[in-house]
Amino acid sequence: MNKIALLSSVVILGFSLFSCNHTEHSKHEESVLTVTQPLKRDTIIHQNYVCQIQAFQHIELRALEKGYLEKIYVDEGQFVKKGQLLFKLKPSIYHAEMLGAKAEKEFVEIEYQTTKDLADNKIVSASELALAKAKLDKAKAVYQLANAHLDFTEIRAPFDGIMGRFNVRLGSLLDEGELLTTMSDNSKMWVYFNVPEAAYLSLKQTNGDQKLPNVQLQMANNVIFEQNGVIETIEADFNNETGNIAFRATFANPNGLLRHGETGNVLMPVDFKNAILIPQSATFEVLDKKFVYVVDKNNVVHTRKITVAAELPHLYIVSEGLKSNEKVLLEGIRKVKNNQKIKYKMKGTQEALTELHGLFSE
């Protein structure tokens, strides 16, 4: 029994020693933290702006005369060519007015010719000829006006485009100026988006009077539109309520994918020269401010507030608070405190960044 008890004590003691050694070894392993250096390089990011997409030409088609809608020659959503007949009002009244004006014009033309012959033979005075001429001019004007009214009974496409939804139906009694439908020329699209004052100033200071950068369009399904856009205009005034200024970019739309009234996001490239890049995992937040742990030459960590100029997937561009030759704690942020001395291993800057989904790999 004594031998059994002694043997049990030895086993327990050995297990305890092994556990203590294993715990101390684990603590030693855990105390070695990972440190890296920021990467300094030229970087381009894409700033995202909510946008409204409008057709290059989008107009309302309205009745120019009062009357019954006699014919509809097209359908909603149909592509039509310039000059194509779209709607026709019942022309009876206007046709009759035109015939009456034509007859009056022809009658006055005969009167004028007769008066002219008499004037040539010195039978009537020059003033009577002038009155006859004025009467003829008036009759011609009335005839042209009647023709115009008759022409207004036919509504034709002013340009190549797509028909909108109809607001009237066949047989409707239309008032002058009543809205029939809309029509859009979608061959190219105007995309409007608002840029904050700070971003506008940075863009203008970077590009000056040179051509502004091309932009991309992210559609509502998060797919990037196949055509790049060109910023053509910037509105004259800032909106005092929002602090924004409106930009307009033009996108070619050869396949007609974009339609008037769509929404999306404009992606504008912003160039950062000699940007300081660090992984987002190397930062932590206190009261909405971002910090890193900087490792000094004595291997002591110090809390440092940084200013983030822009955000990339898994990365921050730091504008203030950090230099490219400084060391920052990459892994083990929750295990240390300010002014604590640490043991660490270095991870190459490029290696640390390329591990994040292959970003910036050569």
All domains of the chain, ordered by start, with CATH? 47-55+187-272 (2.40.30.170), 63-182 (2.40.50.100)
Average pLDDT rounded to a whole number, residues 222-245: 92
pLDDT score at 92: 64
pLDDT score at 16: 47
Nearest to 332 by CA among 36, 30, 118: 30
Cα 188 to Cα 160: distance, rounded to the nearest angstrom: 12
Average pLDDT rounded to a whole number, residues 138-144: 84
Mean pLDDT, the chain, integer: 84
Strand, coil or helix: what is 151?
Answer: helix
Cα 4 to Cα 337: distance, rounded to the nearest angstrom: 49
Residue 329 has φ and ψ, to the nearest 5°, of -75, 125
Ranked by mean pLDDT, the top range of 14-28, 105-119, 157-171, 347-361 is 157-171
Cα 3 to Cα 123: distance, rounded to the nearest angstrom: 163
pTM: 0.69
8-state DSSP, 337: -
Average pLDDT rounded to a whole number, residues 263-268: 94
User: Are 89 and 67 spatial neighbours (Cβ–Cβ below 8 Å)?
Assistant: yes
Q: Provide the token pair at 287.
A: 């009261």
Q: Label residue 25 by pLDDT band (50, 70, 90).
A: very low
User: Are 35 and 293 spatial neighbours (Cβ–Cβ below 8 Å)?
Assistant: no
